[in-house]
Amino acid sequence: MNLEIAREKIIPTNVERLFGKAQVVVEAFDRADQKAMLINAISQRMPETYIVAASGVAGYEGNNEIQTTRFSSRIFIVGDQKTAARPGVGLMAPRVGIAAHHQANLVLRILLGEEKM
């Protein structure tokens, strides 16, 4: 396994250079506009790449509301898709952790060929 470290802001024009070798890109941004930018850029510039994103993991709502939803053949969203971070409802470690574990499990399923298009 090779590890490459890049210290630069991710923007649409450098997504392919930064992630071009990846089979799966895991999105873990806090801001909705950055999430959308990454998903759109990868979808347009790297259509064969899987995206495992998260949306709706803020607060302390029920843990079982965090689900994995397949939006297209290669785009998955983990979360409740409704609970956004805002004043008084921040990102809480337990729900973020649950979502991260959903994402990690899904990445393994994709890499092992268990998620068919």
CATH fold group of domain 21-111: Rossmann fold (3.40.50)
CA distance 106 to 114: 9
Tokens 């509301």, residue? 65
pLDDT at residue 1 above 80? no
108 band by pLDDT with thresholds 50, 70 and 90: very high
Q: Where are the domains of the chain?
A: 21-111
Average pLDDT of the residues in 50-55: 96
116 band by pLDDT with thresholds 50, 70 and 90: confident
CA distance 39 to 52: 9
- Please tell me the pTM assigned to this model: 0.91
AA letter at 52: V
